[in-house]
Amino acid sequence: MDLATNSLGVGRRPALLLVDMIRGFTDPACPLGSECESVVAANIALLAVFHERRLPVFFTTVVYHSPDQARVFRQRVPALNVLTPESDWVRLDPRLQCLPGDVVVEKQWASAFHGTDLDYQLRASGVDSLVVTGLTTSGCVRATVIDGLQYEYPVVVAREAVGDRNLDAHAANLHDMNAKYADVVSLEAVLELLG
């Protein structure tokens, strides 16, 4: 049985945080990738609204510059070793428009907050809440959502704008995030929240 929770929605200055919408995750040819056309389409729609309203947009990518970065994580998931600076797999999916002023944060672990200056950059931009999207629901999205809450941001997850290689894990993690850490709502509901 789930706990009683309050829906927090978004504040006056939400940021869109697109987690790892990079070629390595959006292209099934990569060992880390999956078929996620609908997730990309939902992110394109959200990006257009955030850009139109001049709200902050943050992308993350995963890049390993040296063998000692996230050593244990990479031992656990060897496919991560393809994410090197010279690889196209670390580039943002070209279907997603990254405009001047948008921020790209490099990370090495699951959470967009862990080992990065993301919280500092969000605060400097006056961000008071987050809309989190991206890949994968059970991994980097979930870790980022939990840390977002722990850094005191109300978090909204757009259901259609996240995806996972494992559909059971996707569904279970959406349920769990909604039960404790975030408002998991439809893309349409997010667009309504943004006015």
> Which amino acids are annotated catalytic?
140
47 Cβ partners below 8 Å, 6+ apart?
16, 18, 57, 96, 97
Closest CA to 154 of 13, 40, 10, 3: 10
Helix (H, G, I), strand (E, B) or coil at 103: strand
* Residue 117 backbone phi and psi in degrees, to 5: -100, 25
